[in-house]
């Protein structure tokens, strides 16, 4: 499965998945149909599936147009997004599996950013390859999504699921927020040398307008404060050794940053 990362709007990423063996494509969170149609034409491939993580328009805005072009394509989304995702056909819950070509994704129910948000995890098909996590607006490189509909407790549970994935799992999140996220991270975890190095790399990449996505779970666990609520530095920065309270305070600080 080849993954094509398409920039959209000011900071969104859309991911086109291409199964070369069967020459079929799927798309994760088509914010805008135009770049997707262009890429599909370029690859000369048929769209068979749309994988939506949640109902926000910068994730589902392309559904209708893509279905006009590819009426046989099916739309996947979370069961609790019923009525909010245009033309949704499948209503997924935690632990469900969906297949695409020779890969099968496991669904994680990850409420927090919205109350219905899901993520798609494609485990590796061989031992020396990484798996792929499409996590929408739940986990970002160096940060996490705002809590629009969910609670800190839900988000901690959701992010905890990602912490259990293999370190080299590729993290395909839906926005290029990494530099700003790491600027904040340095304010709460200033002694973290991995974080400092990452910040310098990301700053350099963004100066040259290069993408910082995908990230990987190992890097996130070392440098993302929103996966580090149980580390002494973050406990000190928030003055709380309660996971949910530590996380909630970090999220509150980031909202003001």
In whole angstroms, what is the distance from residue 86 CA to residue 95 CA?
23
Active site residue 242: no
Is 168 among the residues known to form the active site? no
Residue among 137, 176, 216, 220 that touches Zn ion (CB under 5 A) = 137
Q: Nearer Cβ to Zn ion, position 33 or 101? A: 33
Which one is catalytic: 18, 29, 58, 117? 58
User: Measuring CA to CA, which residue among 159, 139, 153 is closest to residue 245?
Assistant: 153
56 given a catalytic annotation: yes
113 counts as catalytic: yes
Number of other CB atoms surrounding residue 225 within 10 Å: 30
Q: Which of 18, 29, 55, 113 is catalytic?
A: 113
**Beta-carbon neighbour count of residue 87 at 10 Å?**
14
Tokens of 13: 């990423």
- Contact characters 45-74, Fe ion, x per CB under 5 A: -------------x----------------
Considering the complex, what minimum distance in angstroms separates the CB of residue 110 from Zn ion? 12
Among the listed residues 204, 131, 125, 196, the one whose alpha carbon sits nearest the alpha carbon of residue 169? 131
CA–CA separation, 74 vs 52, rounded Å?
11
Q: How far is the CB of 241 from Fe ion (least distance, A)?
A: 32
Q: Which one of Zn ion, Fe ion, none is in contact with 220 (Cβ closer than 5 to 8 A by kind)?
A: none
State which residue, 132 or 137, has the beta carbon closest to Fe ion. Answer: 137
Question: Does residue 81 bind Fe ion (CB under 5 A)?
Answer: no
Q: Which does 81 bind (CB under 5 to 8 A by kind): Zn ion, Fe ion, none?
A: none
The four Cα atoms 219, 223, 229, 231 give a dihedral, to 10 degrees, of 100
DSSP state of 216: E
- CB of 112 vs Zn ion, minimal distance in Å: 11
Residues 134-193 that bind Fe ion (CB under 5 A): 137
**Which of 39, 56, 249, 251 lies at the binding interface for Zn ion (CB under 5 A)?**
56
- Does 239 participate in catalysis according to the annotation? no
Cα gap 49→52, rounded to integer Å: 10
Task: Report the candidate in 217, 227, 17 with the shortest Cα–Cα distance to residue 105.
Answer: 17
Residues 51, 30: Cα–Cα separation, whole Å: 8
Residues of the shown chain interacting with Fe ion in the complex, contacts defined by CB under 5 A: 58, 137
Catalytic machinery residues: 54, 56, 58-59, 113, 137, 175
Residues of the shown chain interacting with Zn ion in the complex, contacts defined by CB under 5 A: 56, 137
């Amino acid at each position: 499965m080849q993954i094509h990362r398409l920039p959209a709007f000011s900071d969104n990423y859309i991911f086109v998945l291409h199964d070369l063996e069967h020459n079929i494509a799927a798309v994760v969170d088509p914010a805008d149909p135009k770049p997707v149609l262009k890429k599909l034409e370029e690859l000369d491939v048929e769209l068979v599936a749309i994988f939506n993580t949640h109902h926000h328009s910068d994730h589902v805005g392309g559904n209708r147009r893509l279905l006009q072009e590819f009426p046989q394509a099916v739309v996947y989304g979370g069961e609790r997004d019923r009525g909010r995702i245009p033309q949704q056909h499948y209503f997924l819950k935690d632990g469900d599996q969906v297949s695409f070509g020779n890969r099968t994704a496991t669904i994680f129910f990850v409420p927090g950013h919205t109350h219905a948000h899901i993520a798609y995890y494609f485990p590796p098909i061989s031992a020396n390859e990484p798996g792929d996590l499409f996590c929408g607006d739940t986990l970002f490189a160096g940060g996490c999504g705002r809590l629009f509909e969910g609670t800190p407790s839900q988000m901690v549970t959701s992010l905890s699921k990602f912490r259990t994935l293999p370190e080299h799992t590729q993290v395909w999140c839906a926005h290029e927020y990494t530099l700003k996220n790491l600027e904040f991270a340095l304010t709460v975890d200033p002694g973290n040398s991995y974080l400092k190095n990452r910040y310098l790399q990301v700053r350099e990449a963004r100066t040259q307008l290069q993408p910082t996505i995908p990230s990987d779970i190992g890097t996130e666990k070392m440098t993302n404060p929103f996966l580090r609520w149980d580390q002494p530095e973050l406990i000190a920065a928030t003055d709380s050794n309660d996971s949910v309270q530590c996380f909630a305070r970090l999220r509150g600080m980031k909202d003001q940053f």
